[in-house]
Amino acid sequence: MSHQAYPATRPAIEEVEQQFAHWRQTRAQKSPIPDELWASAVELARQHSISEVAKTLRLDYNSLKKRVLAKQNENNAQAEPYFVEVALNSSLPQTELHIETQDRTGALLKMHIKGPDLPNPLEILTRFWSNGS
């Protein structure tokens, strides 16, 4: 049995509908939908509603929704945290510190400190981020 490649990058709904039609006509009896077709359907759900994609492609709404949510969770987990370097060696005395950050798990840290002796913000952030990994 030969496998046909189905592109999963920004497909048009009509193209994917034709790919599903072709697969349905040529598939072996009761064979599962290929991952490439599911990936195309999930990508379409980013551009259209899950309901519209499921109806157009004749897919089970809940199955498509589960895959869409799984892809979103996968993308969120793979998102690389970014780091912004802050120069703290200013000649002006620091009397106020405001920190807002979020770790990989979604935990949020907000701090607003005033005073003559402020803690090292890098130490605070390092401890917070290391607890969230």
Q: Which residue has the higher pLDDT, 113 or 42?
A: 42
What are the residues facing 97 on neighbouring strands? 113
Cα torsion at 44, 48, 54, 57 (round to 10°)? Answer: -60
Kindly state whether residue 110 falls inside one of the protein's structural domains: yes
Kindly state whether residue 1 falls inside one of the protein's structural domains: no
Residue 26, domain extent: 13-78
In this prediction, residues 66-74 reach a mean pLDDT of 88
pTM over 0.75: no
How many domains does one find in the chain?
A: 2
How much of the chain, in percent, has pLDDT values that exceed 90? 34
- Please determine, for residue 10, whether its predicted confidence score (pLDDT) is greater than 70: no
DSSP, residue by residue, 7-74: --SS--HHHHHHHHHHHHHHSPTTPPPPHHHHHHHHHHHHHS-HHHHHHHHT--HHHHHHHHHHHHHH
